[in-house]
Amino acid sequence: MASRNGLNPKIKGPKGVGFGRALPSAFGFGNGIQPPGNGYLNISTLIGTAIPPKWTIEFWILPQAQMPNFEGWIQYNDGYTATSGGEIRLQGQPASYAWFQFLGNTTGISFDINIPSQPIIGVKNHIVFTIDTISLLMTCVINGNTVEKAITEITLNTNPYLGIYQLFNLFVLTTQGVYASILTDEYRMYSEALTDIDIATNYNGGLGNNPVKTETLFVWYIFEKFEIVDFSKLQDGSDMRIGMRDQSGKNNHAQPINLDTNINSSTFVIKPFQ
């Protein structure tokens, strides 16, 4: 016990929930990825896993011009038979269309949503889609403007909807043979529908931010570099390949397909996001 006269002080040890933990690094965009228009990333470890009933797709783009043609951004199958619209896809679109359209029509689910406003050329733009198969609503927010977000209804063609990822590609629609080409950074997926406050916090007035929610992240690419990562389900070192590391900790690393991963090459796809 410490004396009251201060001659025999007792120093208390540091305590608290955060003691001993490293503080997260200050957010900075650093590098991004610019697909060449004929290559993409494949997330094979998602195959066979359940599609969350609520989830979010979030990413940043830095466009230098309007897309001249349709581009392929996200493609996945849900284990149900595709109908009249093919696989579920997020597609980029040329002038006179909304920049992004997210749509799908399978025997399990149907939806179709357009981005609420056009991205700003030459500026970092923050794009967020939320999907909620419980409330049957889907939203899209651009640049933190939650007041003017797009909202559409989801139709469950099979209820309960028990979608399973059968395929997941970034920057391509293989069925249509179209690819993405715009500089992109901070691609994240969450197993929850981010709230308006979450989205505005991540946007952070255009400065970007570390993800406000980390517990439900299951895919997170910061596109700083390619490295040798373990693609095995058991993470036992049995399938070591070059890839893009999943920063979420869920080990959903991405495999480059037709992407130049040579840092010394003039066509290296990792570039400063600025």
For residue 125, is it within any domain?
yes
- 17 in a domain, yes or no? no
Residue 18: the pLDDT is 43
Strand segments, DSSP code E, in the chain are 31-33, 40-42, 54-61, 71-77, 88-92, 100-105, 109-114, 125-132, 137-142, 150-153, 155-156, 167-170, 172-173, 178-179, 184-190, 217-221, 227-230, 240-243, 255-257, 270-272
CATH code of 248's domain: 2.60.120.200
Which of 169, 175, 189 is CA-nearest to residue 73? 169
**pLDDT at residue 8, rounded to an integer:** 53
Phi/psi of residue 61, nearest 5 degrees: -130, 155
Residue 132 domain boundaries: 31-272
Count of domains in the chain?
Answer: 1
Burial class (CB in 10 A: 0-12, 13-18, 19+), 197: exposed
pLDDT tens digits, 98-151 = 999 999 999 999 999 999 999 999 999 999 999 999 999 999 999 999 999 999
In a domain, 40, yes or no: yes
Residue 84 has a pLDDT of 62
Separation of alpha carbons 78 and 253, rounded Å = 20
In the numeric block, which tokens belong to residue 166? 């059968």
Residue 19, pLDDT score: 44
**pLDDT score for 83:** 77
| Residue numbers of the chain with a pLDDT score lower than 50 | 1-6, 9, 11, 13-21
**In whole angstroms, what is the distance from residue 204 CA to residue 30 CA?**
16
Please check whether residue 199 lies inside any domain of the structure. Answer: yes
pLDDT at 86: 61
Tell me if the pTM is above 0.85. Answer: yes
Q: Is position 26 within any domain?
A: no
pLDDT at 221: 98
On whether residue 237 sits in a domain, the answer given is: yes
Note the pLDDT of residue 4.
44
